[in-house]
Each structure stands twice: as C-alpha cells, then as structure tokens.
Chains A and B, each alone.
Chain A
Amino acid sequence: MRSFYGTDLTNPLMLGTAQYPSPAILKEAFAASGAAVATVSLRREGAGGTGQAFWQMIQALGVQILPNTAGCHTVKEAVTTARMAREVFGTNWIKLELIGHTDSLQPDVFQLVETARILADDGFQVFPYTTEDLIVGERLLKAGCEVLMPWGAPIGSGRGLSNKYALRAMRAEFPDVPLVVDAGIGLPSHAAQAMELGYDAVLLNTAVARAGDPVAMARAMMAAIEAGQLAHQADPIEARDMAEPSTPVIGKAFLS
C-alpha cells in the first residue's frame, strides 16, 4: 500500500465521525471496520465545552486524525480553519474542502489550487477534495499536494462512482500518486469498485453513519474494500461484448 505523506496506513479505509446515532455506536463502528483514519472537524465551542469530550473519544480510537475544512467557501476561510485545526489536532494533515456549489457541494477547484499552495508552503500535508479533472489534479500536485482525493459523487448522496471512466483515467495519469475516492459512496460495492480501479483508499462517512446498523455496515465496507484491493492486485480480466465459452469445446461428446 502506498504511504500518505510518509505515513503507512494499516488499511485503506478513512472513516468520518459525523452523524452516528451515538458516540458508543461511532466507537463500535470504528472497531468493527478497523478504519485507519478518522476525519474530524472544528466548530464553535459553546459554554458546555462539548468539543473536549469528543476530543477525548477520538484520541481513544487510536487512529490517524484527518481534520477537514468542511463548509469553507473562500481561500481565507479555509486557510484560517486549517491553521486552527493544526493547532487543535496537532497534525499537519488537512483534508482541504473548498465548496463552490451549494446543491452539489462541488469543490471550487480554482480556489482549491490557490489554497493548497498556501497551505503546502505553510508546512501542511494537504489532502485536497477535488473533482476527477486531470488538469486540476496536475495543478494540485504542482501546488505541493502529494495526495489527490477525487469525488465519487456528491457528498452524502450515496450514488457511488458517477464517472468511473474519469476515475480510471486519473489512476492511469497519476500512477505514483496516492489516490483516494472521497465522497458519494453509498454501498460496499461502490467502495469495492474504487479499490478495483486501483485507488489507494476510500473516504466515506454517511453510508456507515446513517445506515440502519452502522456497525454492520462498517464491517461490510471494510470487507468490500479488502475484496476490491485483492481483486486489483489479482489483475482482473477485461470485460468483452460477446460470450466466450469457459468450458473447453474440444473433447465435447458428439451426441446429435
């Protein structure tokens, strides 16, 4: 497995921490999935100090923390959020989200590249949430990113891989860059497809957290990711339009 900014992960699942029915189920889902990375966020702290309890729980998970800049719409907002996240979470890793479109939550790739450059120059290890556009990917790498995270489908939509062709092209274009499908995964089969394409990891949240049984779904996701990874390593056959008999024709009894 490829390393992410020099860090070797124990497995290719990056799991979000939002929307679980309870903190206990979140913990169980992480244990069941074995996810190596937890994505987290920053929000205004109220007088009750709810963030401190969450911080202790996340630390107890014993996984790599990946803070995000979710909900940021401008360069300034994302840079300030990233700097606050670095201090609070004590990591240079940042999942850079720069939202450009309200309904689809599509990244604003122009601001994304600009922000990635500022953060990389400031010592951050940037995980950019991007589209599957090859040129944007190239610009992000030039800006200092060493990982790319194209979307599978809009965040929380559960639609799976909307553009497998483009994701395959991205894998082919950047053979040595760690690639993560981030967002849009709804089913284990979607996660398996991402791994079958040769992606290095899958980042998901809603599909597990909002499932009727998040713990069982977490386990299913990990099983699918392992299956997809094994399948990719096993060099799958190419699909073809016409049938090709799998049973040998030669030696068939002549009965008609």
Chain B
Amino acid sequence: MKILLNGTPRETTAKTLDVLLAECGYSGRVATAINEDFVPAAARCKTDLHDGDRIEVVAPMQGG
C-alpha cells in the first residue's frame, strides 16, 4: 500500500505502525501520529495501517 511518511510518499507491506517504523530504521526516542492523531508508543503494534495514511514520526529538536 501507499502511505505518506513525514510528507514523502512510500510503498510499504507493513500492516502495523511498529513494523513500518522498524522497516524504516527508526529507533530511540520518536513519537508518532497517523492522520493528525497521536499514536502512543504502546499502541503502535495494534495500529493498522491503511492505504493513504499520513504518518508523522518526530524526535527531539532544538527549540525556543
């Protein structure tokens, strides 16, 4: 299926969010949202992905 990961189109066979993160090489401290809704880390393995989902993966960054 086709998803948008941090704004970039991507083809994936991952069925859940945790699998997608592993597939993309994410580890460490990241937070996730699907279609603008926060998905807690503990819920990623139960969160099914759907065609067209907009997925955001964010991490700590400098800020004011």
User: Are A and B interaction partners?
Assistant: yes
Interfacial residues, chain A to chain B (CB-CB below 8 A):
16-20, 26, 39-47, 49-52, 54-55, 58, 67-68, 70, 76-77, 79-80, 83-85, 87-89, 155-156, 205-206
Which residues 48-64 of B sit at the A interface, judged by CB distance below 8 A? 56-64
User: Is A77 a contact of B36 with CB atoms below 8 Å?
Assistant: yes
CB-CB under 8 A for A205 and B58, given A44-B7, A45-B30: no
Q: Which of B25, B27, B40, B57 contacts A44 (CB 8 A)?
A: B57
Contact A205 B64 (CB under 8 A): yes
How many residues of chain B are within 8 Å of chain A by beta carbon? 26
**Nearest Cβ distance between residue A52 and chain B, in whole angstroms?**
4
Within 8 A of A (CB), among B17-50: 24-33, 36-38, 40-41
Residues of chain A lying within 8 A (CB to CB) of residue B32: 84
Residue contact A17 to B31, C-beta cutoff 8 Å? no
Q: Is B63 in contact with A16, judged by CB distance below 8 angstroms?
A: yes
A67 pairs with B63, CB closer than 8 A = yes
Distance of B24 from chain A, by nearest CB (Å): 7
Q: Are B61 and A41 in contact (CB under 8 A)?
A: yes
Residues in chain B near residue A58, CB distance under 8 A = 60
Taking a contact as CB atoms under 8 Å apart, the answer to whether A54 and B60 are in contact is yes
Known: A45-B26, A45-B30, A87-B41. A39 touches B57 (CB 8 A): no
Pairwise interchain contact A84-B64, C-beta atoms closer than 8 A: no
B12 on the A face (CB < 8 A)? no
Q: A44-B56, A50-B61 are in contact. List 13 more A-B contacts (CB 8 A).
A: A16-B63, A16-B64, A40-B60, A41-B62, A44-B7, A52-B28, A52-B59, A54-B60, A77-B36, A83-B31, A84-B33, A87-B41, A206-B64
